[in-house]
């Protein structure tokens, strides 16, 4: 009984602490001419100002969304369409099997080991960079497709992992290095 009374008191106190600051801000008082009379100041609404302010706020929000969307697409511009097009819905066979593994090291050794395990061919396309991309995989009962996708995200944009199911092949693709003209056009990045 004591606890329920204490809970009720706590709730009432919390309610009052939340409502009182809002209640005190709800009206604007004009200077009092007579201590017994209180005049409330009415705010004049200007709908055209409200609409203009709303449109300006909406415009800024749209600009921010467009900028964030461009940044998001910039992260994905290095990925080929086939790497992004695979969905979890059409995963079957070896790619749907669940594996538990822990690996830290070069991605090409990882793909070779996976290829041997599922009896797929592992192919490296392009010239590997001097510093070969490394990955860290710590999977517990996850689909092989999910594990490979995680590895692909870790090495992007230095390389791509492309699965060719019809050929039973895992491709590790290193894109060609950019020409000096492309680097200069991007501002040295």
Please determine, for residue 179, whether its predicted confidence score (pLDDT) is greater than 50: yes
Section 143-172 average pLDDT = 87
pLDDT tens digits along 46-82: 556 677 788 888 888 888 877 777 666 565 555 554 5
Please determine, for residue 30, whether its predicted confidence score (pLDDT) is greater than 70: no
The pLDDT of residue 97 is: 85
Higher pLDDT, 155 or 30: 155
Residue 163 pairs in a beta bridge with: 170
Residue 145 pLDDT grade (very low, low, confident, very high; cuts 50, 70, 90): confident
CATH superfamily of 91-173: DotD protein (3.55.50.60)
The pLDDT of residue 56 is: 84
pLDDT tens digits along 81-135: 455 444 454 567 777 888 898 999 999 999 999 999 899 999 998 888 888 889 9
User: How is the chain split into domains, by residue range?
Assistant: 91-173
Higher pLDDT, 27 or 122: 122
């Amino acid at each position: 009984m004591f606890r329920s009374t204490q809970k009720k008191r706590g709730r009432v106190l919390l309610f009052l602490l939340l409502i009182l600051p809002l209640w005190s801000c709800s009206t604007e008082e004009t200077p009092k001419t007579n201590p017994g009379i209180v005049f409330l100041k009415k705010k004049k609404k200007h709908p055209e100002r409200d609409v203009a302010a709303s449109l300006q706020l909406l415009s800024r929000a749209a600009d921010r969304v467009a900028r964030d969307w461009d940044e998001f697409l910039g992260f994905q511009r290095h990925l080929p369409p086939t790497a992004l097009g695979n969905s979890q819905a059409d995963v079957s066979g070896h790619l749907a099997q669940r594996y538990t593994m822990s690996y830290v090291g070069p991605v090409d050794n990882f793909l070779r080991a996976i290829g041997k395990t599922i009896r797929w061919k592992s192919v490296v396309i392009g010239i590997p960079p001097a510093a070969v991309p490394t990955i860290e995989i710590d999977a517990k009962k996850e689909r092989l497709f999910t594990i490979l996708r995680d590895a692909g995200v870790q090495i992007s944009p230095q390389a791509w992992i492309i699965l060719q199911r019809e050929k039973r092949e895992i491709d590790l693709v290193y894109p060609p290095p950019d020409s000096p003209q492309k680097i200069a056009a991007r501002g040295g990045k």
